[in-house]
Amino acid sequence: MKAKKLKEALQQMAEEGVVQLFSPDDGSPAMVGVVGALQLDVLKERLNVEYGLPVDFEMARFTVCRWISADSRAELERFVEAHRGDIARDLDGDPVFLAPHEFGLNYEAERWKQIRFAAIKDYQVRDAA
């Protein structure tokens, strides 16, 4: 019951823009993305006060996330498949690459020239054509 309540609370806060919520492609539990420790403290306090959910979070092995895209859908799918344990989806289902550190991100960006790594999600309106 509390797990469902926590999931709903985190989803609501993600929709408000308080945090990012990522669902790993490998089936691991969802991850909460924050900018720093203060934002995490605010999240924990809100969950406790507003939802009656005293929680603590475990640090993930990732410290960097980037939304990924490519001109070629096949190339993007190839990248995702090659990095299955490092890919998650945001609330919109868009793919995000998770890296343990900047070096890991830069290393993959050098190896995969056709993949774009964006620190800020691009909310362009897509043509329905």
The CATH number of residue 108's host domain is 3.30.70.3280
Question: Which residue range(s) make up the domain with 82?
Answer: 64-118
Q: Do residues 35 and 79 share a domain?
A: no
| 3-state SS class at 26 | coil
Is 113 among the domain residues?
A: yes
Q: What is the pLDDT along the chain (129 residues), one digit of tens a residue?
A: 788 899 899 999 998 888 999 999 998 888 999 888 888 899 999 999 999 999 988 888 999 999 999 999 999 999 999 999 999 999 999 999 999 999 999 999 999 999 999 999 877 645 444
Distance of CA 1 to the CA centre of its chain: 24
- Is residue 125 domain-resident? no
Nearest to residue 119, comparing CAs of 63, 79, 72, 40?
63
What's the whole-model pTM score?
A: 0.84
